[in-house]
Structure formats: structure tokens, C-alpha cells
A and B are shown apart, each in its own frame.
Chain A
């Protein structure tokens, strides 16, 4: 793991002060940037394996950093943001951020997100696979078949499409707009009600306990995440 390098972008010295030892202790190499320009320079010249990005930077909006990075790189970006700024988080995710961590956060949670984001990069190679696996589910794309512990589950074509999209991004937060755009098309980006209905149906069929879902998790106000 020692070869993995994390870039921390934050203007608060206090954040660097505890993140640096924590990340080092977890086995990552740590790079530091205090503003957006520094972050962009660091990513361009010496690409890290993942970026922890605070959205409030002194020189530019953190969302702009995401947009610019996405023009040339697909490296995992985890946003550090306040819990009450849902709209900002959604924007950041729509722009291409991979995940977010609410401030204030515990280091354990942060590390889990970093691991998930890194794994996803490697997992994306499998996203085009004919058969996807998500927990107890096995999704056979060419044959349009879903089995749970070997038992077949009947899904409508739309339900199947939605499930495939979610399963292709295990562990990643997908915003409502991202899911709607991918499954229903760009004309339905605001039709969140479709999503609520279909996710409800999927849970009814796939989850062991639909009331406490373990496969398709809700990110309140933001979107859904497929359990890893």
C-alpha cells in the first residue's frame, strides 16, 4: 500500500495537522496543497492516487477544481464538506467527484471512503463485465437475469437497467440526476419521483428486509449508493 499517495487540499492548517499523521499511519504517502491553484498544479505535475478536497478554498471554488481536474484526469476525488450543504455536495458529485465526507468527520470513516474510492478505480475495469456481483446478487447482463443466492428474481426491463447502473458503481454515491440521466435519459433529470418508485420496487424484490435496506442505500437529499 505504500505506493499510494493522497493529496489533501485544505486552507485550514488545523486539518493538515491531524490528517497528515493519520494518513501516514494508515500507510499512505501525503501531499499537501493550501489552495485551488496549488492543487491543480500538484495533480497535473505529480498525479496522486486520490484527492481529499475541501470545497472552501481561498482562491477558487472547490467545485471549479473538480471541473478542471475532470478535463484531464479520472482520479478519485473525495469532497470534504459541511453536513448542511446538500446542494453544494450534489453539484460537486455531478461535476465528477466520487464521494463526500461530512465535516466534522472521524478518521475511521474517512479511511473507509478512501479505500472504497481507490477500489472503485480498479473495479471500473470490471464495470463492462457481462456478469456483475453485488453482495448476494448476481447480475447476468446479456441474459437479463438476476439471482439472489442462486434464486432468480423477476425484474422489469427498467428495474433491471437501474440495478445494473447502480451495481456498476459499487460504493459510489450516485446523485439523483446522474441516475436519472443514465437510466431514463437527459429529459428526465428532475423526475425524482420515478427514481423513488423504482428504488422502492427494487428494494421490495431484492432486499431481505426492504424497510432497512442493505443493498441500495439512501444518501439523504443526494442520491443512492450501492453497497459494496
Chain B
């Protein structure tokens, strides 16, 4: 780590500290062996805490019938256990959900390393504790040193007893406090002799082996060293968190190669030990070659080793590449790895000089990186750099035999006509063809067959397998070697071509997937598309769950269609969603569930979960697993895109609503202000200067007050009508109406309001009466005429005409003003659209009401009529004509 001038708090340390805020605190009572009194010590401390007023609850404590422990439990509140049916009987287990519901301040959970009965939420109790801590509950627990994952091997070596229940080191490293419960070995042995130590029904011999003074001393030392190392670690963290200048951890980074052989887990443990010593981050990596799938046992070895590494705190990577060494070194360089740990199988004695192991290759090629090679005696499988390819199908061998037969016939025929110096060339052709089309083994088969045929048919004495001249033997051997080499090279070339074709296929599938998803805009469409595509690509059922409100998950789509998951699967999905980690089949959480759930992570956090059916007999190969990860990423980003688009649309419509509101407010304030100004001005003039204003002017001022008040009233009416029109609550009071009368009234009102234009009324004779709401009709005409008066200019002529047109009456208002620009003509009936008199925004008036024509349209349509605008007006060079029709036979009942 680079030293800077001023020591800075390491971000990681601060982050770790911050993450602990809000989490419960974990205290581990650590002992070297059973019987040292961990549970007793824990209970003693708990009683003290209870006496201090802490809300302590016993989650689970195994007293094993010991009196002294039982008396310690007395008086402490105990959480009832949950009975889980297992193999026909009920097993009382720790009740995680009960504890989470009870939410004590401090919970005692004995035996950290305990394995839960199958069917519990988590396979291990330490995972339960993880949940409790996450919920903010403080937990005290007990642990024996031999249950610590990384010490498992060591303890086995010391004691000869293999401990099956283990706790990952991280689960202990994260403990806030570790309390060492120590008892000298002699004392412990004495307690054992008195029967005070409960030992699970292990064979007596094993007990004897375990509780030997030498073992106990070694275990005690292990435990003490662990705790001492932890103290160091706490100190270091404190120094980093507090920005104390001091020795920094060396920048070691360790990579462990995980292979399919049985030693994989041992290598992982060794790497963990190295990583701990160097206080280094470490990676466990496995590389699979495309086209050479692992068998069941090998796959399980790899999976188990990777899971172990993960539980020991490693980052794991499953890679796919045709050259394992290249791939390993690429990731090593990328991750800045300084040390590589690899197992080396001891090859069979004979092949030792010829077989190059992975370890050898790494040592040769990893320049600048230290390589630790661990050799295991019992390892019987080799991790060759290039595994032998599969034998191939039968038709490959048939084809090889046919190729050799044809070569033989060809050779026979040719030698009859031409003196061919070396017929063996033709047989090389017979080797090359199966190598290219069927792989290595058929080609090797063809090589041997060719050698035999060549010998039989062409080497003297012909038609026997005996060879007369010694140099012919040499020639035959050379031929065989060349043929086999060609087989190998050509076969490898073919394999690589196949691998790259496979990669191209995978790439294309991914491209297709992305392309399909990108064409979809809706969350449910994307989920549906993703599920069906993933099903098509990986040939397993797929389900997509998406977060709905309040962080709840709901099935958005599944393929084959399915709309429910069982409770266990759902809780696995929820776990994956909440933690952002895979859950379900072949993971550490709820592994019994028949689905593998991957979180769909967006930038702002998880947005859903993808589930893939787990087929018990066909685990997912790493290649598909990598593909699934990529598919999940693509799905997540498509879903995120859809969510963002939805939000954008919401924001846009909210902004539009806001704009409309603002325009409404502005227009109301503007249109109300002028009449208000006039009224206030005229009234205050009369009050202040009434005596000095001549009577005629006084009358005019009073008239102005009345007219402007009228004007205001009209506007209030318009606003109310608009509101009612929008609410669909316009109440038509139909009566027989004389349209001519309405027209005349509107023109008179316009004149009264100071219209200075030339107003012309043109009424057809014998206009029929119309069934309509007269007051609303007045409003329509007042608005349309008012619009013309306002925009046509002082010199214009405004013609208001009414005529019968078929089954309806048409009323039109035509002016000779500037008209409406073509771009606006389609919008004149929309709310708040208001043309400026010269086509540009006016400095002040540009945001006027623009309600008049919209209201006219609403009222006319409520009467079953139509309204339209034309500009320039028909038969004129400019101007605007607004016409509306009212049906003579309105719909019955309207």
C-alpha cells in the first residue's frame, strides 16, 4: 500500500467499522476442547448481564444433563425450541424465526458449529447467527477450536480425529469479541474422569485418542495462538481505522488453483493458512476447458473446494479457457497476485519425464509470481495441462477404417501403373482425414491401422506381417510416429476450432438475448422474454421475480409458465434478493431447494431475482454458470432500463401537469388583474378625486366598474364551466332556443365590452329552433366572438352567421384579421393555447387564458355538435373562421 505523507484511515477498515453499526455484536466463547466450561462461562456472563438489566434470552443451550450448567440456566428466560420432523421423529431445534420475532437485546446460542437438522432455514447454526446479527441482535455463542474450518486439517493431524462440523473462519473473524475459556489439560482430564465432560456418542477409543494430554496441550496452544492473532488483528484494524501511522499489511495476494482431484480442498486450506500468515486477500480459481465436461465426481470436487474457499473468505472464480495455464496467469496478473498455490499430483513413475503437470507449467511460465507446489501422495488423478480428449463416437472409427481401406486400394492401383517411391504418403492422408473430422482417437486408430495395412500390402514379403529388410522396420516405425503426431496436432486443431465455434455460439446467443430484451420496454415483457430465453439457452426451467413495492418479491414471469413457488424456494429467493448473493440449490443457503436463485443487481440495488431449475443429476457446468451470470446481468440492466423509462414517463407527465397548473395560474392572475386594476383604479379615483372629476367622467368610471365586474364574472363562469366539463359534470338544461336571438345577444355584449371592430350579423330566414342549454350557448358564442374581437385587430370585420345545414344548424364567426398560423390551427381548441396577434409571444399577454375556445368545444360537443376552425377563412386571403353545428334532433334522453 502506498504510504502517503499524512496517514489516512484505510477505507476498508472504516467501512468494516461502519458496517458493524446497526448490526448485533457477536461474542464467541472459545475453548480448546469440550469440557473446558465455555457454556458455563457464557451463562455466568449472561446472568451478570441480566442482573445489569440487559434483555437476555437463552436461544439454545445444551446442558447435557449437567447439574452445574442447569442451575446456571435457571432464572434466565428461555426461548421455546421448534420441533422439526426428521426421519420420523421430532427434533427440537433452535427457533430462528421465534428469536427474530422476540428480538431480545442479547441472545445466547450455544455450539456455534452445530449443523441444523435438514429442513431448517440454514444448514448451519452459524448462518442462523448471521441472520440474528443482521437483525441487530447481540449474540453470544461457544466454539471449540477444532471446529474452525482452516484448522480442521491441523486438528486432524494432531488428534487423528476428523471433525465434521466446521465454522468458516470469517464467521469467527467477524466476531466483535472472542473470550478464551481456558482450563489446563490436567484439570480437564480430571473433570473428564469425574464424568463432568459430555462427549457426543463417539467411540470410546476416539475419546481416548482425543483426550490425551499431548493433544490437549497442542489444542490449547492452537486456541491461545488464535486468540493472540486476533488481538493483533484488532490492533491493526484499530490502527488503520484511526489513521495511526504504522506498519501496513504487506500487499500479498494469493491465488489457489482448484482442480477436480481429491486434493483440491487440502490445497484450499493450505492457501487459507498462507493468506492468514500474510494477512492477504486470496482467490480460488478453477479453469475448465470448453468441450471437455467434467464427470460428476470431478464436478463435485471442484464445487466443494470452491465452496470451502468461499467459506474461508476467498473470492472464487470459475473460468473457461482452452489453455488452463494461460487463463490462470491472466487472472493472476489481472488481480495482482503475488503467490500461486497449486497441487501437484505425483505422476506415475514411468511417465514422469514425459507428462508435464500444471504445477510444472505454472512454475515455468509464472515470472514474478511465487508458486507454491503441494505434492500429495494419495492424489491419484493427474491434472495434466491438456486432458486427453474423449474417445469420440463409433462412426469416427468406422470412417478411419474406411479411409485406410481406400488408401490401401488407391496404393495398390497406383503402384500397378506408376512406380511410387513411397506409398506411405497416401496413408498419411488416411490419418489426416479422420483427425480433422473426428478427433484424436479415431486418427490414432487410423495410424495403427495404416501401419498394419502398409506392412501387410506393401512391405516385402507382401501379404504377410513379417518384414524382410531391417530398414523397412525403421521406416514403418517412423511412419507410425509421424502419423500419431499428425493425429494429435490435427485433433487439437479441430478441438480448438470447435471450442471457438462454441464461444462464437455462446456470444451469438448472448447477443440475441440482449437484442431481444432491448426491444422490450415493459417490465413484465422483459421478465417473460428473459425467462423463455434462459430456458431456451440452458434447457432448464427459469423464473424471474421482480421487486414490487416495499421490497416484496413477486413472480413476474416463468418458463415453462408457472405462477407459484413453494415457501422454501420463495424464502431462498428472498434471501438472494436481500443479501445480493446466490441462494438455493448448490449454495450455502437453503441448498435443498430445487432452484438456484441469482440476484438481479441494478446500480441502485437489487431489483429482482432470477431462478434456474436445479436438476439433481445434471449440475450446471462452469461455462453455463458464467453464461447464467451474464444473462442475469443483462436481464437486470434491461429491467433497470424499463424501470427508469417508467420513472421518466411519470416525471414527464408530472412536469406536464405542473406546466398546465402554472399556465392556469398565470392566465388566471393575468386575466383577472386587468379588470381588477380597472375596478380598483376607477373606484379609488372616484374616492380620491371625486369632487374634481366632472359628472360625465364620474359616470363613465362607474360604468367601467360595472363592465369590468361583468367581465370578471364571465371569466369566473368560464373557469367553472371548464372545471365541470373536465369533471364530466356539465349539466345541460335543454330548452327550445332561438339561435338568432343568441347571436344578437353575443354581438351586443361584444359591443358593450368595447369591441371597436365592424360587427356584421347574417342570419338565414326561418331558422329552426334548437333544443339546447341557452346559457351555455350564450357562453359558447361569447367566447368565439370574444376570441375574434381580441385577435382580429381594430380594423377587422367580424361576421357572425347562422344557417341550416342538413339536420343541424351551423353558426360561424368569421373575421378578416391576421388569422392563425398553420402550426397552431389544429390546437386552437386545446386549453391554454392562445395565439399571439402577430404570431410571436407578446411580452406580457403571451400566457393569457386560452380557455374560451376550449370551453366552446366542450359545450358544443356536450350538445352532440361539432366545432371547427379554418384559417385563412374560406374565400378570404386571411382571417379565421370558427364554425359550430348543433343537431336539430339531439339524442333522445340527452
Contact = CB atoms under 8 A, between A and B. Distances in A.
A21 B697 contact: yes
Nearest to B666: A84
B466 to A, nearest CB: 110
B684 A17 contact: no
Interface residues of B, dominant DSSP: helix
Contacts of B669: 82, 84
B670 A82 contact: yes
Contacts of B684: 22, 106-108
Contacts of B838: 58
A58 B700 contact: no
Contacts of B754: 13-14
Nearest to A56: B844
B704 interface: yes
Given A14-B675, A104-B676, A107-B684, A55 B704 contact: no
A66 to B, nearest CB: 12
A12 interface: yes
Contacts of B670: 82
Given A15-B681, A17-B700, A82-B670, A108 B842 contact: no
B688 A108 contact: yes
A172 B619 CA distance: 87
B693 A56 contact: no
Contacts of B697: 21
Contact of A103 (B677, B688, B708): B677
Contacts of A24: 693
Interface in B826-854: 837-838, 842-845
Contacts of A18: 678, 681-682, 685, 701, 704
Contacts of A54: 844
Given A18-B681, A21-B693, A22-B689, A104 B843 contact: no
A69 to B, nearest CB: 16
A62 interface: yes
A153 interface: no
Contacts of B661: none
Interface string B667-695: 00110011111111110110011001100
B685 A25 contact: yes
A14 B675 CA distance: 8
B685 A14 contact: no
Nearest to A62: B843
B843 A61 contact: yes
Nearest to B756: A13
A19 interface: yes
Interface in B719-766: 754
Interface string B646-669: 000000000000000000000001
A60 interface: yes
A15 B677 contact: yes
A182 interface: no
Interface centre among A12, A15, A17, A105 (most CB of B within 10 A): A17
A82 to B, nearest CB: 6
Contacts of A107: 681, 684-685, 688-689
B700 A21 contact: yes
A58 B837 contact: yes
A25 B681 contact: no
Given A21-B700, A107-B688, A111-B688, A14 B845 contact: no
Contacts of B704: 14, 17-18
Nearest to B707: A14
Contacts of A105: 677, 680-681
Interface residues of B, number: 31
A105 B680 CA distance: 7
Nearest to A82: B673
Contacts of B673: 82, 103-104
Interface in A104-147: 104-108, 110-111
Interface string A63-100: 00000000000000000001010000000000000000
Interface residues of A, number: 30
A54 B688 CA distance: 23
A30 to B, nearest CB: 12
A19 B681 contact: yes
A57 interface: yes
A25 B682 contact: no
A4 interface: no
A115 to B, nearest CB: 13
Contacts of A13: 754
Interface centre among B677, B680, B704, B842 (most CB of A within 10 A): B677
Contacts of B843: 55-57, 60-62
A13 B669 CA distance: 19
Contacts of B689: 21-22, 25-26, 107
Contacts of A15: 674, 677-678, 681
Nearest to B698: A21
A12 B674 contact: yes
Contact of B680 (A26, A56, A104): A104
A18 B674 CA distance: 12
A170 to B, nearest CB: 24
Nearest to A55: B844
Contacts of A82: 669-670, 673
Nearest to A85: B844
Contacts of A108: 684, 688
Nearest to B842: A58
A18 B844 CA distance: 21
Contacts of A55: 843-844
Interface in A166-215: none
B837 A14 contact: no
A55 B754 CA distance: 23
A72 B713 CA distance: 45
A210 B427 CA distance: 115
Interface in B97-114: none
Contacts of B679: 104
Contacts of A58: 837-838, 842, 845
B680 A17 contact: no
A22 B708 contact: no
Given A22-B688, A111-B688, A106 B681 contact: yes
Nearest to B675: A14
Contacts of B680: 104-106
A19 B680 CA distance: 11
A191 B241 CA distance: 41
A17 B753 CA distance: 13
A107 B688 CA distance: 8
Nearest to A19: B681
A25 B692 contact: yes
A178 B682 CA distance: 35
A106 B680 CA distance: 6
A56 B843 CA distance: 5
Nearest to A64: B843
A64 to B, nearest CB: 9
Contacts of B698: 21
Interface in B413-459: none
A14 B708 contact: yes
Contacts of B685: 18-19, 21-22, 25, 107
Contacts of B682: 17-18
Interface centre among A12, A22, A60, A61 (most CB of B within 10 A): A22
Contacts of A22: 681, 684-685, 688-689, 693
Nearest to B837: A58
A56 B677 contact: no
6 contacts: A14-B675, A17-B678, A17-B682, A21-B693, A62-B843, A103-B674
The 5 closest A-B pairs by CB, nearest first: A56-B844, A25-B689, A22-B685, A104-B677, A18-B682
Interface of B: 669-670, 673-682, 684-685, 688-689, 692-693, 697-698, 700-701, 704, 708, 754, 837-838, 842-845
Given A14-B708, A106-B684, 16 more contacts: A12-B674, A14-B674, A14-B677, A18-B678, A21-B685, A21-B689, A21-B700, A25-B685, A56-B842, A57-B842, A57-B844, A58-B842, A60-B843, A62-B844, A104-B679, A107-B684
